Amino acid sequence: MDKILIVEDATSLRELLKGVLEMEGFQAHTVETAESAWEWLKSNQASLVLADFKLPGKNGMQLLQRVRKVFPSLPYIIMTAYGTIEMAVDAMKLGADDFITKPFSPEDLISLVKDVLSPKSRSLKRYTKEEEQKFLTADPIVKNILKEAKKAAPYSSPILILGESGVGKEVLARFIHRNSLCAHKPFIAVNCGALPETLLESELFGHEAGAFTGATKAREGLFEVASEGTLFLDEVAELSSYLQAKLLRVLQDGEMRRIGSNKTVRVNPRIIAATNKDLKTALKNNSFRKDFYYRISVIEFSIPPLRERPKDIELLTEYALADLSRKYNKS
């Protein structure tokens, strides 16, 4: 049964939404703030988040940004009484699945929720995301990187991608995945700097029921989910020394144990890691393990920043304008 997290500070509307969704057969959990929603998501699984834009403290868009860093494929709908085209564009750019303006009827809400959760919609979103993740470039250096990355893609060797924030490290990682032998398997991305060590450990390795407070049922880790596919470790330099050592063991042995379990599980995901940090400095000051570095950097690519690729600025601007025109039927 799909579980929907409702984030709405108005008590009457929050309870009304819960009742409407439960009458349609959904499970619904309600919270009043973005902070409460985030705390709940860290230890519970939701099928969809339905969040108001205007909330006490952080708003629904700020929550969306945080959710997308850790749960990139979690369906997310923004509700607002202040709907504008500009806000809709901003919500979609941040990764919202849809946008609904108050007041709305129960029928409209149910129709939207069912549409966002439908297999067809999820499949279309994955396809659209892939299309939008094409690495557009006119820069000869980046073109050569893509050429070499395509050659490396069929092999299982770990890949390290270096570059400043915003240069397209995840786009390159997805490009490699699409050209690999595991392209039909999952591509799972995790931001290693977005969660505390203990939560990230649980996210990567999974846990058994009762392994810690709040672990009410067993859960697969991302290594298991991505096994035979690609596991993208974004911001890998943020990993603690403890997790670096634990990941190193998994990469060496091809097996792991869930938290709270003695049972060994075989895993074999293709590892692609990325960072915007200077790893040479991190290696010198011992904040990054040399053995782990050598394990994840069998193949290494460094993407130059956009300021060094003037031809790409015009290309990307034209693409963004054309994409927005298609979405909103503007010329």
DSSP class per residue in 184-208: TS-EEEEETTSS-HHHHHHHHHEE-
Confidence at 88, pLDDT banded by 50, 70, 90: low
End-to-end Cα spacing for the chain: 43
Give the mean model confidence (pLDDT) for residues 56-76.
Answer: 89
The pLDDT assigned to 127 comes to 39
Helix H or strand E encompassing 126: helix 119-132
Token pair listed for 122: 């999820």
For 154, phi then psi, to 5°, come to -70, -15
DSSP state of 259: B
What is the Cα–Cα distance from 269 to 256, expressed in whole angstroms? Answer: 12
pTM of the model: 0.61
Average pLDDT over residues 163-178: 93
Structural domains of the chain, ranges and CATH numbers in brackets? 3-129 (3.40.50.2300), 140-308 (3.40.50.300)
Distance CA 178, CA 320 (A): 22
Torsion angle (degrees, nearest 10) of CA 126, 127, 133, 135: 150
The Cα 38–Cα 69 span in angstroms is 12
Which of 224, 321, 212, 232 has the alpha carbon at shortest distance from 272? 232
Q: Quote the CA–CA distance of 254 and 227 in Å, as a whole number.
A: 10
Look at residue 123 in the predicted model and tell me its pLDDT. Answer: 43
What is the structure's pLDDT at 92? 73
Q: Are strands 264-266 and 255-257 parallel, antiparallel or unpaired?
A: antiparallel
For 25-34, 254-263, 318-327, which range has the lowest pLDDT when averaged over its residues? 318-327
Question: Could you give the CA distance from residue 34 to residue 46 in angstroms, rounded to a whole number?
Answer: 15
Amino acid, res. 252:
Q
Give 46's DSSP letter. Answer: -
Residue 135 has pLDDT above 70, yes or no: yes
> Does 201 or 325 have the greater pLDDT score?
201
Beta strand 159-162 with 270-275 is parallel
Spatial separation of the C-alpha atoms in residues 122 and 41, rounded to whole Å: 20
pLDDT of 327 higher than 80: no
Q: In sequence order, what are the residues at sequence separation of 6 or more whose Cβ sits closer than 8 angstroms to the Cβ of residue 219? A: 45, 202, 206, 207
pLDDT at 129: 47
Query: How do beta strands 76-80 and 98-101 pair?
Result: parallel
Distance CA(322)–CA(331), nearest Å, equals 9
pLDDT score for 106: 94
Question: How much is the mean pLDDT over the chain?
Answer: 88
pLDDT of 131 reads: 43
Is residue 122 very low, low, confident or very high in pLDDT (cuts 50, 70, 90)?
low
Residues 109-130: what's their mean pLDDT?
67
Closest residue by Cα to residue 27 from 39, 17, 35, 37: 17
Does the pLDDT value for residue 51 go beyond 80? yes
For the chain, what is the largest distance between any 2 Cα atoms, rounded to a whole number of angstroms? 61
Of 308, 47, 72, 63, give the one whose Cα is nearest residue 173: 72
Q: Is the pLDDT of residue 38 over 90?
A: yes
Task: Please give the share of the chain, as a percent, with pLDDT higher than 70.
Answer: 90
Helix, strand, coil fractions of the chain, as percent rounded to 5: 45, 20, 35
